[in-house]
Amino acid sequence: MRFGGRERISRVSCPCCYQCLNNLGRLNLPKYNYEPIKITIMNTELLKQLYCVYSPSGNTKKMRRFLKREITKRGGKFTQDSIGNIFVTKGKSETYPCLASHVDQVSNHTHSRDFRCIESNDIIMGFSDKMRKQQGLGADDKNGIFICLNALEHFDVLKIALFVDEEIGCQGSSKADLSFFDDCRFVIEPDRRGGSDFISSMSGSSVCSDEFSKATGFKGFGYKHEEGTVTDVLTLLENGLGISCLNLSCGYYHAHTDNEITVVSELENCQNLVFHIIETCTDVYPFNIEYAWRANYGDYLWDDSHYDTMESILSEDANLVFEDVINKYFDNFMSRDMDMLRSIYKDVKAYIDYHPEIEMDDDDLKAQYPEYYDSLT
């Protein structure tokens, strides 16, 4: 989740995903200038199962039932609070590493009854045979859930917080009982598009100590510092959580659209970094937030998904006026509050006008996978 990134919404949806698949088979994989630590082999079948469970904000019961079964199979013990947040503990220890994710996805893309996942040459995308078109995965943040479940299977001592309704204003994390985190060393939330963003600052404030940032060894995995905005971990810090937090890129692109994809190697690299931090960062890393700027738009409470969507649209064409955005992309937004959307448009437009490189930069994924993107135009 971010405001100020470089994701683009494709101008034209893929006219035929069978042709898209043919192109996917010819893609060149990303080439890293470092040696990532390989800890696990990716179980993409579990990932695809997560993608097939449709869990729009406000209607996540099916996903929570699925997760409870998977948590139990991996030896975790869980509690669920009155609004649906799930808190998982495995093992007994004086202190715990802690991961977080959210169980909801935006509901503005298609998820047909015959939805299935297609994997080809490091790319996973959603597809409907009946509709003959690509469909969104909900990888924001099922990729984060996937890492949480794999960590639960891999480690004997771990805590996990799975929040509801992040996409409509971090409603789950804003009401979470912070006592769950009293014995945690840190909280990591893999909930960021792309493959290399290390989010240690959100909405103008640091979210972790310099000591923790350095101890993670993130540069060895090809990650770099980037600014982020509202996620669950920022909400926890604002409510008084006193330990270091992070948000990490976990390999998804074009979130909240039917063109969403996951780059498996980038998801795996994120998981390797998370596992490395769990294994090596055994101290408690205290941190207290000083300040975070957050807008308030009624019940949406800075709904980050609207900022993500607006930024993706304007990064593609910064000359669009608000009326053009509404005429062409209105269905991409969950809210129908025109005043709120106009305010978000003004904020994002001002940001992009001040940072023209956002519009002009070549998208990293587009550069790595030109044949895939050629098929979408």
- The residue assigned the tokens 């909400």 is 235
Cis peptide before 303 (omega within 30 of 0): no
Domain boundary among 249, 280, 311: 280
Indicate if 230 and 311 belong to the same structural domain: no
Binned at pLDDT 50, 70 and 90, residue 9 comes out as very low
Indicate if 272 and 302 belong to the same structural domain: no
Indicate if 223 and 320 belong to the same structural domain: no
Indicate if 258 and 126 belong to the same structural domain: yes
Domain boundary among 253, 280, 307: 280
Binned at pLDDT 50, 70 and 90, residue 125 comes out as very high
| Mean pLDDT across 150-175 | 95
Predicted confidence (pLDDT) at residue 263 exceeds the cutoff of 50: yes
Domain extent at residue 353: 298-374
Q: How far apart are CA 313 and CA 322, in angstroms?
A: 11
Higher local confidence (pLDDT), 253 or 63: 63
CA distance to 242, 260, 318, 331, 332, per residue, from 233 (Å):
11, 24, 31, 28, 25
pLDDT at residue number 169: 86
Predicted confidence (pLDDT) at residue 184 exceeds the cutoff of 50: yes
pLDDT at residue number 167: 87
Domain boundary among 233, 248, 280: 280
Among 1-10, 121-130, 182-191, the range of highest mean pLDDT: 182-191
Q: How far apart are CA 246 and CA 250, in angstroms?
A: 12
Indicate if 268 and 302 belong to the same structural domain: no
Q: For Cα atoms 77, 78, 79, give the angle at the middle one, nearest 5 degrees.
A: 145
In a domain, 90, yes or no: yes
In a domain, 1, yes or no: no
Domain count, the chain: 2
Binned at pLDDT 50, 70 and 90, residue 315 comes out as confident
Indicate if 243 and 344 belong to the same structural domain: no
pLDDT digits (tens, 9 = 90+) for 68-89: 999 999 999 999 999 999 999 9
| Residues in a beta bridge with 224 | 197
Binned at pLDDT 50, 70 and 90, residue 367 comes out as low
Q: Is the dihedral of CA 107, 228, 315, 28 positive or negative?
A: negative
Indicate if 269 and 366 belong to the same structural domain: no
CA distance to 166, 312, 338, 361, per residue, from 262 (Å):
20, 17, 31, 21
Binned at pLDDT 50, 70 and 90, residue 228 comes out as confident
In a domain, 350, yes or no: yes
pLDDT at residue number 343: 78
Q: Which amino acid is at 25?
A: G
Q: Which amino acid is at 331?
A: D
Of 46-50, 88-92, 168-172, 215-219, the least confident: 168-172
pLDDT above 90 covers a percentage of the chain that reads 58
- The residue assigned the tokens 């909240």 is 256
Cβ-Cβ contacts under 8 Å for 326 (sequence gap 6 or more): 338, 341
Tokens of 101: 């994710």
Predicted confidence (pLDDT) at residue 244 exceeds the cutoff of 70: yes
| Mean pLDDT across 310-335 | 82
pLDDT at residue number 370: 57
Q: How far is CA 337 from the centre of its chain?
A: 24
Indicate if 353 and 223 belong to the same structural domain: no
| Residues in a beta bridge with 190 | none
In a domain, 293, yes or no: no
pLDDT at residue number 314: 82
Indicate if 178 and 151 belong to the same structural domain: yes
Pair type for strands 224-228 and 197-202: parallel
Indicate if 60 and 137 belong to the same structural domain: yes
Predicted confidence (pLDDT) at residue 179 exceeds the cutoff of 90: yes
In a domain, 290, yes or no: no
Q: How far is CA 349 from the centre of its chain?
A: 23
pLDDT above 70 covers a percentage of the chain that reads 77
Per-residue burial over 143-178, b = 16 or more CB atoms within 10 Å of its CB, e = otherwise: bbbbbbbbbbbebeebbbbbbbbbbbbbbbbbbbee
Predicted confidence (pLDDT) at residue 336 exceeds the cutoff of 50: yes
Predicted confidence (pLDDT) at residue 347 exceeds the cutoff of 70: yes
Higher local confidence (pLDDT), 212 or 309: 212
pLDDT at residue number 230: 81
**Which among 112, 132, 138, 142 has a CA at the least distance from the CA of 20?**
132
Cβ-Cβ contacts under 8 Å for 279 (sequence gap 6 or more): none
Higher local confidence (pLDDT), 8 or 104: 104
pLDDT digits (tens, 9 = 90+) for 16-70: 444 444 444 333 334 333 344 444 457 799 999 999 999 999 999 999 999 999 9
Higher local confidence (pLDDT), 353 or 207: 207
In a domain, 286, yes or no: no
DSSP state of 82: T
Predicted confidence (pLDDT) at residue 355 exceeds the cutoff of 60: no
Residue 302 · residue 230 · CB < 8 Å: yes
Higher local confidence (pLDDT), 319 or 315: 319
Predicted confidence (pLDDT) at residue 168 exceeds the cutoff of 50: yes
In a domain, 5, yes or no: no
DSSP state of 38: P
Q: How far apart are CA 294 and CA 3, in angstroms?
A: 12
Indicate if 28 and 152 belong to the same structural domain: yes
| Mean pLDDT across 172-201 | 96
Q: Domain with 146 in it: what CATH number? A: 3.40.630.10
In a domain, 48, yes or no: yes
Indicate if 147 and 218 belong to the same structural domain: yes
DSSP state of 277: H
DSSP calls for 322-343: HHHHHHHHGGG-S---HHHHHH
pLDDT at residue number 16: 41
pLDDT at residue number 109: 67
**Which among 271, 276, 312, 289 has a CA at the least distance from the CA of 235?**
289
pLDDT at residue number 301: 41
